[in-house]
């Protein structure tokens, strides 16, 4: 019996990095897990060796696709206990001088709008049951505007920070707990979008996807009377304050 036996979990951005690590850990702890993401092959890799994992290729920036995702998951699971909004993206041309209108929308749509669509879809069921956990994977760039992340990425993450805070206050009496994880630098595939390549030495010092996944499982494992609104996790070597 694992910590999450019987729980039903949906993880977006489940094809790699933090999403992949989170989905696998939940499954290992006994949860029924569904994963969503744009790349079906990457999702299949996450589910490898875990035949009970539900794979639903989805572009979370498309509200109709998100609606279809939730119909599929609810038809299989009946309800969702834990939603992990993890889908996110960045790009190399991220300074204000380089940022195009098209790429601005790409960043906001993925890092903010996708989470909103998923929350809107999961909320009615959680309100009805007066129970549920929504975990948003943000970034320290959603707390402080680090230039390294770029204005578009930071704007989306700041928006996610505000969305989560308002939601938590509005639904406090509904028994719905909203947690936001703010990771520092993580060794995940998104690092290839850095304008300057990240060295092997730097990768060795920063967070691993499993570190953040363990933080997500921690906030999700606490009893119903306990809520962790915000959790900042960073490499020891990364300056924050």
Query: pLDDT exceeding 70 applies to what percent of the chain?
Result: 100
Provide φ and ψ at 135, rounded to 5°. Answer: -110, 125
Catalytic positions, written as ranges: 153
**70 half-sphere exposure, CB direction, 13 A CA radius:** 22
What is the average per-residue pLDDT within 204-215? 96
Give residue 199's pLDDT.
85
Query: pLDDT exceeding 90 applies to what percent of the chain?
Result: 88
What is the average per-residue pLDDT within 221-237? 97
Mean pLDDT for all residues in the chain: 96
pLDDT of 240 over the 80 cut: no
The answer as to whether 163 is a domain residue is yes
Which domain covers residue 221, as residue numbers? 8-233
The answer as to whether 180 is a domain residue is yes
The answer as to whether 239 is a domain residue is no
pLDDT of 50 over the 90 cut: yes
Q: Count up the domains in the chain and report the number.
A: 1
CATH at 157: 3.40.50.720
The answer as to whether 1 is a domain residue is no
pLDDT of 241 over the 70 cut: no
pLDDT of 74 over the 90 cut: yes
């Amino acid at each position: 019996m694992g910590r999450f036996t019987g729980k039903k979990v949906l993880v977006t951005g489940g094809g790699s990095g933090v999403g992949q690590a989170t989905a696998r850990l939940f499954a290992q702890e006994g949860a029924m897990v569904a994963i969503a993401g744009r790349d079906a092959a990457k999702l299949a890799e996450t589910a490898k060796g875990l035949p009970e994992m539900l794979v639903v290729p989805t572009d979370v920036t498309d509200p109709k696709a998100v609606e279809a995702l939730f119909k599929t998951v609810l038809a299989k699971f009946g309800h969702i206990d834990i939603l992990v909004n993890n889908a996110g993206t960045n790009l190399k041309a991220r300074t204000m001088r380089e940022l195009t209108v098209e790429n601005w929308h790409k960043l906001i749509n993925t890092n903010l709008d996708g989470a909103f669509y998923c929350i809107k879809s999961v909320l009615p069921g959680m309100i009805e049951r007066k129970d549920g956990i929504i975990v948003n994977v943000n970034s320290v760039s959603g707390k402080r505007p680090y230039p390294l992340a770029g204005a578009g990425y930071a704007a989306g993450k700041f928006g996610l920070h505000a969305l989560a805070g308002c939601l938590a206050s509005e639904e406090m009496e509904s028994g719905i707990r909203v947690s936001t994880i703010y990771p520092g630098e993580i060794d995940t595939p998104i690092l290839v979008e850095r304008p300057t390549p990240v060295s092997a030495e730097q990768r060795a010092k920063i967070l691993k996807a499993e570190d953040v996944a363990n933080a997500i499982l921690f906030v999700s494992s606490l009893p119903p009377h306990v809520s962790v609104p915000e959790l900042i996790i960073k490499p020891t070597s990364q300056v924050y304050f």
